[in-house]
Amino acid sequence: MTKHFKETERLKKIVEAFPNLTITVLGDLVADEFVFGEISRVSREAPVLILKHRERAVVPGGAANAANNLADLGVNVLPVGIVGDDEPGRLLLKYFRHKRIPVSGVLKDKTYTTVTKTRILAGMTHTARQQVVRVDREPQQAPNAHLTRELYLAARNYARASDALLVSDYGYGAATPAIVTALREKGKLGSTPIVVDSRYRLLQYSGATAATPNEPEVEEALGLRIGQDWDRAVSAGQEIITRMKLQSLLITRGRDGMIAFDHKHKPVDIPIVGSDQVADVTGAGDTVIAAFSAALAAGATTEEAAQVANYAGGIVVMKRGTATVSREELLHALEQTPPATRTH
């Protein structure tokens, strides 16, 4: 039996165990809105394109996308976050209910604006659509003390009954270092792994189990430039692990693949699966943390979880818009291509 066959079979067993898992997702729920228009002509009022409206789609983004990916991977997911009493919020809740994702942990508040990212895409009838502008609607202020308390209580109650807690912090206040610290210190979560993805304040989540930043987020957190320097990338990862007291760290590097760090083992360089000619990276980080968290919760090592996340990321970037990966797609990809690593 070859080494590659054994590795593939092990990864398949991990993915096949996903339906036995429950994962709580605490984070900033985002509505990703896509407005598609056909190029009609150039405006007489200004040098801009006039688009004839063709269709509109609203799908889960941010933490909601991480939850959606977990659901499509077969995991039982419990989202915790906030939406406003507005159309994007109602559409997110409707989407979750349609997918049979519980919404009792999603707070609805009249004073809150659901985070909405509207992407305007233009194209001709038989051509690829190109994003021409993005419009973001955001809450004016962070959730108040009452909402923060409710988020903590919901996350605590769900996480106690879960195999992992996924924290998706996009900077809007539903997931904060203070809430996660309180969960760790007072939530009685036992050995439940806490996996963090934080856009702007990664180092403040010290004490989490694992983190999945991309390379620019690592560079910003440490105030350095990595580029193509392997030794610098390794040094940066080891500094993150030490400062955050992590057990596992996964740094995503776009077309350069991923580096998996484990506090007990040497870092592993993992090349991307499939083509590097990606179609759309929107939401790919949400797919990666979903697959990585699920694999860790299923008992995978850091390297195994990283390999699973790498396959999931490779599939999702070939899809347009905010997309997900199904368990069947992941198993198929594992059968097609054996896992690989690079030596240094």
3-state secondary structure string across the chain: CCHHHHHHHHHHHHHHCHHHCEEEEEECEEEEEEEEEEEEEECCCCCCEEEEEEEEEEEEEEHHHHHHHHHHCCCEEEEEEEEECCHHHHHHHHHHHHCCCCCCCEEEECCCCCEEEEEEEEECCCCCCEEEEEEEECCCCCCCHHHHHHHHHHHHHHHHCCCEEEEEECCCCCCCHHHHHHHHHHCCCCCCCEEEEECCCHHHHCCCCEECCEHHHHHHHHCCCCCCCHHHHHHHHHHHHHHHCCCEEEEECHHHCEEEEECCEEEEEECCCCCCCCCCCCCHHHHHHHHHHHHHHCCCCHHHHHHHHHHHHHHHCCCCCCCCCCHHHHHHHHHHCCCCCECC
The verdict on whether 276 is a catalytic residue reads no
Contact 15, 304 (CB under 8 A): no
Contact 23, 55 (CB under 8 A): no
Tokens of 252: 């995503």
Give the pairing of strands 130-137 and 115-123. antiparallel
Q: Which residues are catalytic?
A: 286
